[in-house]
Amino acid sequence: MARILIVDDAAITRTMLRGILEKAGHQVVEAADGDAAIAAFRETPSQAAFVDIFMPGKEGLATIKELLELAPSLPIIAMSAGSTFTDTETLGWAKSYGAKFTLPKPLAAAAVLETLGQIFQ
């Protein structure tokens, strides 16, 4: 199956998402922030990426932009639990930065797999 990059500062989100993806047969690469994600992607490119929007250091929108500079056709799924803004606003920003799909947190396994199905049909 595919190699998928998970970028999220919350270890619990990375662990949960890793479980869903590995159970579906995918290989997973994890990064706790945007800088680690870019380094991991340069070392071993992935076929898709889940990117959290709000992270310390290099946040999600900058990470999405940089990943797409490295691989313009990379399907990116932006994730957000919101913050001072609504999920709709933050995920809309992610789409304007080039994210192909958006998912609100908490993530539902069915939504994750449905989104991947759209990417890897």
pLDDT of residue 82: 62
Ranges of the chain whose pLDDT falls below 70: 82-89
> How many CB atoms lie under 10 A from the CB of residue 61?
20
For the chain, the average pLDDT equals 92
Q: How many domains does the chain have?
A: 1
pLDDT of residue 64: 97
User: Domain with 28 in it: what CATH number?
Assistant: 3.40.50.2300
Q: Which domain holds residue 85?
A: 3-119
pLDDT of residue 86: 46
pTM comes to 0.93
80's enclosing H/E stretch is strand 76-80
Contact call for residues 75 and 48 (beta carbons, < 8 A): yes
pLDDT of residue 81: 79
pLDDT of residue 37: 98
Contact call for residues 17 and 111 (beta carbons, < 8 A): no
Alpha helices (H) in the chain, listed in sequence order: 11-23, 34-43, 60-70, 87-96, 109-119
